[in-house]
Amino acid sequence: MRETSQLPAPGSGAFVFTAQEIRELDADLARRDLLELTMEHAGARVAEVIHARFPTGPVLALAGGGANGGDTFVAARHLHALGREVYVLAQGTRHELAGRMRRRLEGLCPIELLTEERLCAGLSKTRVVLDGLLGTGFVPPLREELTQWIRRINEAGKTVVSLDLPTGLPSDTAGDGSDAERVRADLTLALVGFKPGLLFSEVGEVQVLDLGVPPALLERHAHASCITPEEVRALLPRRVRGAHKGTAGRVYVLGGRPGYTGAPSLTAYGALRAGSGLVALYSRAELPRHPVESMAHRIEDWNALTALPRPDAVALGMGLGEDSVPVARRVLSWKVPVVLDADALQSELRGAGHDAVVWTPHPGEAARLLGIGTGDITRDPFAAARALQLAYGGTVVLKGGPSVIATPGALRVCLAGNPGMATGGSGDVLSGVIAALLGAGLSAPEAAIAGVYLHAAAGDRAYARLGYGLIASDIAHEVAPAWHVLHQASSEIL
């Protein structure tokens, strides 16, 4: 999880690409004779951002042998044109296009072969380091000399701007947590879109640079896309003038057991704050702290559910314990929209779901559902969310920093949210928010997308007020103003 301040604006609507998808995009660009232009744009934009953010002092540009190095030569040329003192240390350039970019730089500023000695000398004199050694072409493990250079760069304590990816960070998966073998960048300028590694690792600030690639090409090759406030605003249910509590969505919360009574109450708060007209809780325990606006029923036997009128949506599993699987089976047979959370996330339910189910595991629960280790989930949350969706159907919300959603047709990621939300009950609130949206008529993918975003936006509001001391009920209460602001805001403000 990262600091709020390090995340790009949630409105960026950016795409995410794996290394393979970048190769395919590049091949597409090359067929249209756009690749060289794209590299030129990349270098120019990188120089522009560096000059704006760090306007004084020499720049040490480190260029690898591939296209990441090619972008670096272009950036060096533009920085030189902006009047900056630039010193380039380059590996042997093997990439044809990068070689052309290198020739265009020759004679403008010094370019020397990268050696450890020159690197140390260059680092001692520079203000900013431009890290263009490895990008999406990096195939782990790192070669020895690179490990040494990375150590030198990290020890120098200079401002480091990484081009596309911090050198040594895998493009497609989270880094392994040890940053000894990757450049510690202050700022990464990601080209065209995020790479999964940037989303799921501790990498400092990330800014996505638009390179003027036609949007149709971006969409064709993208792995995933970021949820935008604009799309969420369009999804939010609108109440008609004659609305009453029965038309705004009737949600049942099924959860809790003796000793575990807080979780379903938080879900009820989440559902009410996300606009549910009526919320009823059913539990085998007394729920002493349920919202007074909800109806809490203690039941002796889950068979009592049979006699109830069908709700518009159900949230199920929070604190429910071992009753979860039989209760979930019964509720799934109703064919109403359901959020399955917490204790209801059990592999016995594989095959029992339907299209209107939203599964909301955190990495530990996801690992249990897939029968693999938690590390395998956090290493590649996109792959894990997709695997869960294929195995269990419906829509999957894999909670984390950031949360990932797998719908039947797409992978989505939510850039809003902050580490303060890593607090007990936060997920219970999310289940309520999603259930409210399902109850108001949104499809499972729509409710998951809008619910995750609203919950994260609420968490950001709570964080702004309370910092890391925020608790789950603060998130629930901030859902209402987060919704209200989104509902009222003009697209300029977003």
Q: Judged by CB, which is closer to ligand LZDS7PUF: 163, or 438?
A: 163
Binding mask 74-113 for K ion (x = CB under 5 A): ----------------------------------------
228 forms part of the interface with ligand LZDS7PUF (CB under 6 A): no
Restricted to residues 158-217, the positions that interact with ligand LZDS7PUF (CB under 6 A) are 163-164, 191-192
Least distance in angstroms from the C-beta of 130 to K ion: 9
Nearer to ligand LZDS7PUF, 134 or 430 (CB): 134
Q: Which of 70, 317, 451, 459 binds ligand LZDS7PUF (CB under 6 A)?
A: 70
Cα 215 to Cα 300: distance, rounded to the nearest angstrom:
57
The window from 1-9, 133-141, 314-322, 445-453 that contacts ligand LZDS7PUF (CB under 6 A) reads: 133-141
For ligand LZDS7PUF, the closer of residues 38 and 283 by Cβ is 38
- The C-alpha atoms of residue 330 and residue 338 are separated, in whole angstroms, by 11
CB contact at 8 A, 316 and 358: no
Listed ranges 138-146, 249-257, 289-297, 425-433: which one lies at the site for ligand LZDS7PUF (CB under 6 A): 138-146
279: partner contacted, choices ligand LZDS7PUF, K ion, none (Cβ within 5-8 A by kind):
none
- Contact call for residue 39 and K ion (CB under 5 A): no
375 in a labelled binding site:
no
Query: What is the 3 state secondary structure string of the chain?
Result: CCCHHHCCCHHHCCEECCHHHHHHHHHHHHHCCCHHHHHHHHHHHHHHHHHHHCCCCCEEEEECCCHHHHHHHHHHHHHHHCCCCEEEEECCCCCHHHHHHHHHHCCCCCEEECCHHHHHHHHHHCCEEEEECCCCCCCCCCCHHHHHHHHHHHHHCCEEEEECCCCCCCCCCCCCCCHHHCCCCCEEEEECCECHHHHHCCCCEEEEECCCCCHHHHHHHCCEEECCHHHHHHHCCCCCCCCCCCCCCEEEEECCECCECHHHHHHHHHHHHCCCCEEEEEECCCCCCCCCCCEEEECCCHHHHHHCCCCCEEEECCCCHHHHHHHHHHHHCCCCCEEECHHHCCHHHCCCCCCCEEECCCHHHHHHHHCCCHHHHHHCHHHHHHHHHHHHCCEEEECCCCCEEECCCCEEECCCCCHHHCCCCHHHHHHHHHHHHHHCCCCHHHHHHHHHHHHHHHHHHHHHHHHHHCCHHHHHHHHHHHHHHHHHCCCCCC
Please tell me whether 400 is known to bind a ligand.
yes
Q: Are strands 159-163 and 187-191 parallel, antiparallel or unpaired?
A: parallel
Q: Which two tokens stand for residue 319?
A: 């604190």
Least gap, CB of 187 to K ion (angstroms): 12
Asked if 187 interacts with K ion (CB under 5 A), we say: no
Residues between 4 and 63 with contacts to ligand LZDS7PUF, criterion CB under 6 A: 22, 25-26, 35, 38-39, 42
Kindly identify the residues of this chain, within the stretch 467-486, that bind ligand LZDS7PUF according to CB under 6 A.
none
Q: Quick one: which of 91, 126, 167, 228 contacts K ion (CB under 5 A)? A: 167
Q: Which of 10, 66, 262, 401 binds ligand LZDS7PUF (CB under 6 A)?
A: 66
Q: Does 136 bind ligand LZDS7PUF (CB under 6 A)?
A: yes
Contact 133, 62 (CB under 8 A): yes
Q: Pick the closer one to K ion by CB: 163 or 435.
A: 163
Of positions 113, 139, 216, 307, contacts ligand LZDS7PUF by CB under 6 A = 139
**Minimum distance of ligand LZDS7PUF from residue 226's CB (angstroms):** 17
* Shortest spacing between CB 153 and K ion, in angstroms: 11
Q: How many residues bind K ion (CB under 5 A)?
A: 4
68 among annotated binding-site residues: yes
**Which of residues 59, 62, 67, 76 is near ligand LZDS7PUF by CB under 6 A?**
67
Residue located via tokens 């209200």: 484
Report the partner that residue 167 touches, choosing among ligand LZDS7PUF, K ion, none (CB closer than 5 to 8 A by kind): K ion
420 marked as part of a ligand binding site: no
Summarize as ranges the residues that interact with ligand LZDS7PUF (CB under 6 A): 22, 25-26, 35, 38-39, 42, 64-71, 94-95, 134-143, 146, 163-164, 191-192
Q: List the binding residues for K(+).
A: 68, 131, 167
Q: List the binding residues for AMP.
A: 399-403, 427
Summarize as ranges the residues that interact with K ion (CB under 5 A): 131, 162-163, 167
